[in-house]
Amino acid sequence: MAYLEIKKSSILHNIQVLYDFCIKHRIQLCAVTKCCCSDGEIITLLYNSGIKEIADSNMENFAKIPAGIAGSLRKSVIKTRLSDILSIHSLPLNIRPQRVFVSDEILLDALAEIPPDSCPEIMLIVEIGDLKEGFYPDKIPSICEKYSNLPIIGLSANYACLSGKMPCLESACLLSELTGKIKTKNNTLPLVSLGGTAAYRLFYDDGFQEKKSEKCNWELRCGEGIFLGFDSSAGNDLPGFKKDAFKLFGEIIEVCEKEYIEHDKKGRNATGEYNSIPINGKRLNMILDFGILAGPIKNIHPLDNSIKITGQTFDFTVVDIIESDVKYKTGQYAGFALSYGAVSHSMLNKYIKKEYR
């Protein structure tokens, strides 16, 4: 059976690197745990390493958190739906979110109907060019005034999430200025929360550190950096981070010589596409017991650099091994490095066993 190897020491190393950085620059750290579905064992690892703030896109994942630590973690919903808000009052206290990220007035109206002692703190998402979700900046003053009775504590922005909008000093300064419209309780400073891992490079920039406003607190929301030590937006590794926390191993269910030929009548494959396999003639193949639903081709890379993925269906992966010196056999395993997307696929797939190292 295919399995996902999760190396705890690499995750711990990356957390420590981020912690040291955030402490040095007086930045709060929120671990985005949506790629691992807030898996209980991983959340326990994060908590024991000092993480006290997590964020997930799906509120129901908080139910997976062990009861012993669920009440001590601050939990944020970063993809807040109206149905989430309407169900908050029915959740056990220890798995209710303490923060919700909101980008629509209908959601704010629904939050206004929640009893004050049950209403989570609110982060207003601001549209600064990523074109996913968020209020436009010129709307923030009127929103803050209209909903001044709600516990709005800060502003949030997403970078390189949909459109590829990269972090910049100008957008961060704009968010900082806009926090002046927020009236927080107990004279606490408003918060500017920036995500995802792309924002790490902005915080790392000396120019930002020089101009960073002291009129607000700053938060980095990071998932890919913690779990993979990689920044997809820039397409490169984060210096000093471990990259091997997640590996996918597929069980070999067949090793056989196959002859690739072009068919006269060719239809679409199982995914509804016309697939042209980029090799010809007799080749040596192995078939693995996972497919697109666990790790799409574009999101995985063989640990054996001499083998090549030639195709996938939803639950099979075909690999050309003719150039490899490894003598693969049925029943053995072949490993793959994963991108952020593949980790998410594998964690969601119940047919992929999770093994913690």
Q: Output the pLDDT for position 56.
A: 98
Beta bridge partners of 60: none
pLDDT band at 263 (very low <50, low <70, confident <90, very high): low
Mean pLDDT of 68-76: 95
- Is 77 in a helix, a strand, or coil? strand
Q: What percent of the chain has pLDDT over 70?
A: 97
Q: What's the whole-model pTM score? A: 0.92
pLDDT band at 190 (very low <50, low <70, confident <90, very high): very high
| pLDDT tens per residue, range 100-127 | 999 999 999 999 999 988 999 999 999 9
| pLDDT tens per residue, range 195-220 | 989 899 888 887 788 878 888 999 99
Query: HSE (CB half, 13 Å, CA atoms) of 123?
Result: 30
- With 70 as the cut, is the pLDDT of residue 298 above it? yes
Segments in the chain forming alpha helices (H): 8-24, 40-48, 67-70, 82-87, 105-112, 140-146, 169-178, 198-204, 206-211, 224-228, 340-348
Query: HSE (CB half, 13 Å, CA atoms) of 296?
Result: 7
- With 70 as the cut, is the pLDDT of residue 278 above it? no
Q: Tokens 């803050």 appear where?
A: 144
Q: Output the pLDDT for position 140.
A: 97
Domains along the sequence of the chain with CATH = 8-235 (3.20.20.10), 246-356 (2.40.30)
In angstroms, rounded to a whole number, what is the distance separating the alpha carbons of residues 308 and 318? 9
Q: Output the pLDDT for position 111.
A: 98
- With 80 as the cut, is the pLDDT of residue 231 above it? yes
pLDDT averaged over every residue in the chain: 93
Of the two residues 278 and 156, the one the predictor is more confident about is: 156
Per the document, the length of the chain is 357
CA distances from 77 to 53, 81, 100, 266 (A): 11, 9, 5, 47
